[in-house]
Amino acid sequence: MKKLIASVVVATSLNLAFAAGFGIYEASARGNAVGGSLVGDAGDATANYYNPANIAFATNIQLAAGVTFINPFCDVEVNHRPQNKMNPGWFTVPTFFVTVPLPADFAIGWGNYTEYGLGTHYSPGWALAADTQKTTMRQVTLNPNLAYRFTDWMSASVGIRESWIGFENHKQPYHGEYYGGVAPYKLFTKLKGDDWATGWNAAIDIKATEDLSFGLVYRSKIKHKIRGDFDMGGSVGPYGAGAAAAMLGASAHSHASAWLTLPQSVTFGANYKVTERYRVGTSLTWTEWSSVNSINFVIPDGPGGGYRLPLRWKDTVRVGFGMEYDLLDWLTIRGGYTFDEDPTSKKHSTTMLPCGDRHIIGSGLGFKLAENLYLDLGYSFIRMNNEHYMVRYGRSDGSYGARRYSTRNGHSHLVSASLRYSF
């Protein structure tokens, strides 16, 4: 059954992060436009993501579905020499939510969304192809929630987060080196695997006044053990990949695995109704990225038995502000700003994920199409700070080299659309 579900979610999602770390926060067009500031009072089925405790105040069945299209790119330099632009194209992040009120002040909800992902694509043979040439991480969360309204002003919820993650990495080991000083290394490797794991979430929602509400959401760590396969092709001088690996007492094909911890986080938010037509909100998220200390790739029959990717990331804060104004009875305008702190270490870095703090400007429109049907459209622009750091890569003699990797002019376009309906 899990393999069937995995096939479905992979077919409908291809996710890429251009947020700090490899977090994905694009859960709805409305939320994207207002900087995620719906934690205190989402008011629709997307509360299953922003604050599941809020679904306890629902009075009817609610549905929401949407998609965000993401196009990231940046200029790249290695040792001050320009490389081809990192531009892997457009990626999609689909979402689906449903809320159902129950008797006795209970409510249940369901969320299908993405919390993590990354994707980078460099030209074959670029200067740091020994570190990575192409990397993709896809993740999908299936999240049932149960909420209870204790009073007219307070509710709480608990939920299960069933997480599927798929990882694929291509690189060109020892690129630029010569075998015996004469023949170049022309190896390429592929590492691919996936895993299911379970985490949980809990939340509270407080209506301090008729116009002011607060929310607090906790998401637990999720520990994945990604299992898959390692394959090596190409040649080393006159030897094929299989023969070259055999000389090292290894195989060009092997099972592979790696532990990856998705970090815990805490989000606080507040929403305030200034007037009947004008609303503002804010959100603050702390993420324990320091739990992503390293990734150890175990390749039992491969060269060296695997390798360790040190990260040494730090904990971060993400803060967002947003507003909504009902310009007409059928038209709402939205705007927001988000600052997303970069967790990466300049001493322990990888080209799998460009680093740098992010500044996100959000905008959007909401249309009331019918009495209970709404269409939300959003556009966000991400500006990534210019950064540089050292990337370490392995040499054929067992030693390590390092090169200065710089990212400049990093941007991302996010275009999103959502439909919301209540029965």
Give pLDDT, residue 18.
46
Q: Does pTM surpass 0.85?
A: yes
User: Which residue, 24, 249, 217, is CA-closest to 116?
Assistant: 24
Give pLDDT, residue 17.
44
Instruction: Give the C-alpha separation, 216 to 386, whole Å.
Output: 33
**Other Cβ atoms within 10 Å of 3 Cβ, number:** 9
User: Which residue, 167, 224, 223, 169, is CA-closest to 193?
Assistant: 167
Per-residue pLDDT of the chain (423 residues; tens, 9 = 90+): 333 323 323 333 333 444 556 889 999 999 999 999 999 999 999 999 999 999 999 999 999 999 999 888 788 888 888 887 777 677 889 999 999 999 999 999 999 999 998 778 888 888 888 888 888 889 999 999 999 999 999 999 999 999 999 999 999 988 888 887 778 888 899 999 999 999 999 999 999 999 999 999 999 999 999 999 999 998 888 888 888 888 777 888 999 999 999 999 999 999 999 999 999 999 999 999 998 888 888 999 888 888 887 788 899 999 999 999 999 999 999 999 999 998 887 776 778 776 778 999 999 999 999 999 999 999 999 998 888 888 888 787 778 888 888 888 888 899 999 999 999
| Domain containing residue 252: CATH number | 2.40.160.60
Give pLDDT, residue 345.
77
Using an 8 Å Cβ cutoff, are 421 and 27 in contact? no
Domain that holds residue 236: 2-422
User: Which residue, 44, 136, 30, is CA-closest to 422?
Assistant: 44
Using an 8 Å Cβ cutoff, are 231 and 168 in contact? no
Beta-sheet strands, E only, within 127-182: 134-151, 154-171, 178-179
Give pLDDT, residue 395.
81
Give the count of domains, the chain. 1
Give pLDDT, residue 21.
65
